[in-house]
Chain A
Amino acid sequence: MSSISSLNKVHKLGLFGDFQDKNETNLIKIKEIKNINLFQIVKHKKSKQDISNLKIDGVSLPKNLHSSSSSSTRIIWMGPENWFVFSTKNLIPELENFDDQDFAITNLSHSRCIIEIEGDMIYEVLKKGSPLDINKLNEGDCANTVYNGITITIDFVSNNPKIIRILGLRSFGESLYHSITDACLEFGFKSI
């Protein structure tokens, strides 16, 4: 876990864009998710292991384009036999039980920046930079796509209120943050 976030220099708290004369509760909220453990789990091609009963912190591995979660752990599908596990808990003792004949597990806690945006207009924000058919997607879905040319993962956290998390590579973090906040300006946003 990296104590210095990739958005350290750019994520300034406050109100930005077209926020005047608007109710603060109607503005888009932008938050960085940090100090979280992230592991990638990849099941080997030749492995015969049945994953349907497999659980990590009580959460099962989700199917294509879906996520599953508990209050402390969230797992998203990244590709065939490939998942990202986020957790506020230390999962290392539990993950050590996984057989390395079946799975490759990598600690990626340092490697991503996670931007959470909340508000009624966030789908419009996504549409400005991403070709994904967002209106079809719902809570519990996730998708890899691009935003202004940057490869991202979108995790649809909640429908009401509308909350999504956008993951990008750490080194693209600042650039992604500027892309997202630029798109939010016309709606007005609050950095929290």
Chain B
Amino acid sequence: MLYIKCPFCGMRSQNEFAYGGDASVKRPELNKEISNNEWDDFVYNRKSLRGKHIELWHHVSGCRQWFKVQRDTATHEIFKTAKMDEQI
């Protein structure tokens, strides 16, 4: 069980949250020619790394906001959380 600090509600139990994937993935620019490989990278390919990772989480049973979490995927330690428009 993790405790996650929502930037709006404070420290809450993982039960209230939903995991939303890698937060470092960027959508290819609009109106630009995109190769199949670039689409693959955006839609499917993930690093799935062991160590510090920036993730999206949704406080789905709380304030219903998305935010960023920096977490170690091996130890589950959470270093930082930030609002979507903040740098982590």
Contact = CB atoms under 8 A, between A and B. Distances in A.
Interface string A11-24: 00000000000000
Contacts of A133: 11
Contacts of A49: none
Interface in A149-192: 151
Contacts, number: 40
Interface in A36-80: 64-65, 78-80
A65 B12 CA distance: 13
Nearest to A64: B8
A131 B63 contact: no
Contacts of A145: 12, 16, 61-62
A80 B12 CA distance: 16
A80 B65 contact: yes
B9 interface: yes
Contact of A131 (B10, B13, B60, B65): B13
A51 to B, nearest CB: 16
A26 interface: no
A91 interface: no
User: Chain A's interface: helix, strand, loop or mixed, by majority?
Assistant: strand
Interface residues of B, number: 14
B24 interface: no
B86 to A, nearest CB: 13
A80 B16 contact: no
Contacts of B11: 133
A55 B77 CA distance: 43
Given A78-B63, A79-B65, A133-B11, 11 more contacts: A79-B63, A79-B64, A80-B8, A82-B64, A131-B12, A131-B13, A131-B15, A144-B9, A144-B16, A146-B15, A151-B61
Interface of A: 64-65, 78-80, 82, 131-133, 143-146, 151
